[in-house]
Amino acid sequence: MKKLDNAFYAEPAETLAPKLLGKFLCVKSASGTEKYRITETEAYCGEKDTACHASKGRTKRTEIMYQKGGAAYIYLCYGIHSLLNIVTGKEGSPEAVLIRGIEGFSGPGKLTKKLGITTAQNGTDLVTSGELWLEDDGLSPAYTTTPRIGIAYAAEEDRERLWRFLIG
């Protein structure tokens, strides 16, 4: 297996989201390293995507999304769930992929709780970190697409985009 590099993360979110399927989300803790295959993702594509946090522009919360691809964007949802996103694309283009599921855990809040991922890790460089990273063993699984979940606030055209990707 190999750790993903900067070049991998340089693609736009809607291109990278299906490519993240089958990759391993890796977390090192006091008890060792845990690795789980990613099974579900969603793309969030910049300021023009009304479902994306960056649709309101650059803020303290979204600043990390404006970095070059390869950083972890972790935010608190409903004040209780830390959600893990992978920043993608070029610096200045705020795009990210939400990790919605891993083997054995469906739901972005459940998987971060299982792996001990918190907002304290927001901004982690996934290329250089020895604490949180992604690896590839060459698997490119078949996948299906659906509209994204939980974005009722977004414009209808953005709610209907097939930017949710699931293995199977």
Q: pLDDT per residue over 86-127, tens digit each?
A: 999 999 999 999 999 999 999 999 999 999 999 999 999 999
- Compute the radius of gyration of the chain from its Cα atoms: 15
Residues 42-64: pLDDT tens digits?
999 999 999 999 999 888 889 99
Residues 129-159: pLDDT tens digits?
999 999 999 999 999 999 999 999 999 999 9
- Beta-ladder partners of 133: 26
* Choices 3.40.366.30, 3.30.70.260, 3.10.300.10, 3.40.50.720: CATH for 2-167: 3.10.300.10
Residues 75, 25, 32, 81: what is their CA dihedral angle, to the nearest 10 degrees? Answer: 20
| Domain regions of the chain by residue span | 2-167
